């Protein structure tokens, strides 16, 4: 993965998932740089590429977040109303975006496709759509199968990870598009690192109950008395169990809490925080050529 500072969009900075990102597929993770949010001391915590859709938690109206989305979407050559966002609730529910879903959501008040049902993962094989998942410490997972030309994105906090959202998204791509996990490439973006992700013993117990004692290897108590969870590597392990080759999984080593100048972090900021997002989309080749 590498940082891109996009000269065409002043100050815009994002990270490309280089095992997926190409002229025909966009696969990026936002940073907090290059947007229009957070112009006052009261809204400094939102500076500047805030992609949160939690209206109640911010002191800005929705306009700035919408402008931020427009900047990123334009930088990737997609149309604003072809963005797909989710109503995320730490579930393992998956939305399969087909033409019917696109039609049902095209004219909603958000100006783009904010799917109404609660879900934390999304898959499609429709060219021209840009799928997104929002995070602020949680793990963003992007998936691409070059054989079936299908893509997926998942939001995995500890609840979603416990519920197996990454594995289920891979299984969904296999069921719906006939993907073989051996062909799928995956990218796990910036998220809270094991350095900072303290969890309660009840969380550890929940994982042991679901996955057995072996899961303890993804936790450490070396920092303090509480367990610290390596949620990025746990998600990587689950993707490998789902059949994806280890060599096809790229994992960001950046911790969102340790890098407040680059990322939003719920753990760093406390109650008020902005949102990052992971994006993946199949570019409409003919349209790109015409443009």
Residue 281 bridge partners (DSSP): 26, 130
Of positions 28, 51, 153, 255, contacts Zn ion by CB under 5 A: 255
C-alpha 88/C-alpha 79 separation (Å) is: 22
Nearer Cβ to Zn ion (118/195): 195
Span of 120-128, 129-137, 138-146, 254-262 interacting with Zn ion by CB under 5 A: 254-262
Task: Report phi then psi at 25, rounded to 5.
Answer: -135, 125
CA atoms within 13 A on the CB side of 249: 24
One character per residue 60-79, x = contact with Zn ion (rule: CB under 5 A): --------------------
Report the residue from 193, 227, 274, 281 that binds Zn ion according to the rule CB under 5 A.
Answer: 193
- Decide: is 195 part of the binding site for Zn ion (CB under 5 A): yes
* Using rule CB under 5 A, residue 257 touches Zn ion: yes
Out of 196, 199, 216, 240, point to the residue binding Zn ion (CB under 5 A): 196
Tokens linked to 52? 């949160």
Neighbouring C-beta atoms of residue 273, cutoff 10 Å: 23
Using CA atoms, how far apart are residues 91 and 162, in angstroms rounded to an integer?
9
CB of residue 199 to Zn ion, shortest distance in Å? 14
Stretch that binds Zn ion, among 4-12, 106-114, 253-261, 274-282 (CB under 5 A): 253-261
3-state secondary structure of 42: helix
- Rounded to the nearest whole angstrom, what is the least distance from the CB of residue 255 to Zn ion in the complex? 3
Q: In whole angstroms, what is the distance from residue 143 CA to residue 121 CA?
A: 11
CB closer to Zn ion, 236 vs 257: 257
> CA-CA distance, 87 to 76, in Å (whole number)?
23
| Nearest approach, Cβ of residue 276 and Zn ion (Å) | 15
Q: How far apart are CA 169 and CA 96, in angstroms?
A: 10
The minimum distance between CB 198 and Zn ion, in angstroms, equals 10
Which residues bind to Zn ion, rule: CB under 5 A? Answer: 193, 195-196, 255, 257-258
């Amino acid at each position: 993965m590498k940082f891109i500072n996009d000269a065409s969009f002043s100050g815009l900075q994002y990270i490309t998932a280089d095992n997926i990102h190409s002229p025909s597929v966009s696969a990026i993770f936002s940073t907090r740089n290059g947007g229009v949010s957070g112009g006052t001391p009261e809204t400094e915590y939102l500076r500047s590429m805030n992609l949160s859709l939690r209206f109640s938690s911010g002191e800005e109206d929705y306009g700035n977040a919408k402008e931020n989305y427009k900047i990123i979407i334009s930088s990737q050559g997609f149309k604003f109303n072809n963005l797909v966002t989710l109503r995320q609730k730490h579930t393992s529910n998956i939305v399969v975006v087909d033409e019917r879903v696109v039609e049902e959501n095209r004219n909603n008040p958000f100006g783009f496709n904010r799917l109404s049902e609660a879900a934390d993962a999304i898959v499609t094989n429709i060219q021209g759509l840009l799928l997104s998942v929002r995070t602020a410490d949680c793990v963003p997972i992007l998936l691409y199968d070059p054989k079936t030309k299908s893509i997926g994105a998942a939001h995995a906090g500890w609840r979603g990870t416990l519920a197996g959202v990454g594995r289920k998204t891979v299984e969904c791509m296999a069921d719906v598009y006939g993907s073989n996990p051996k062909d799928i490439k995956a990218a796990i973006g910036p998220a809270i690192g094991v350095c900072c992700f303290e969890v309660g013993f009840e969380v550890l117990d929940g994982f042991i109950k679901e996955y057995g004692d072996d899961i303890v290897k993804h936790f450490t108590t070396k920092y303090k008395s509480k367990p610290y969870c390596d949620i990025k590597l746990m998600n990587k392990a689950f993707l490998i169990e789902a059949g994806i080759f280890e060599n096809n999984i790229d994992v960001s080593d950046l911790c969102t809490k340790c890098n407040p100048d680059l990322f939003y972090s719920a753990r760093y900021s406390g109650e008020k925080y902005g949102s990052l997002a992971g994006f993946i989309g199949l570019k409409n080749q003919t349209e790109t050529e015409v443009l």
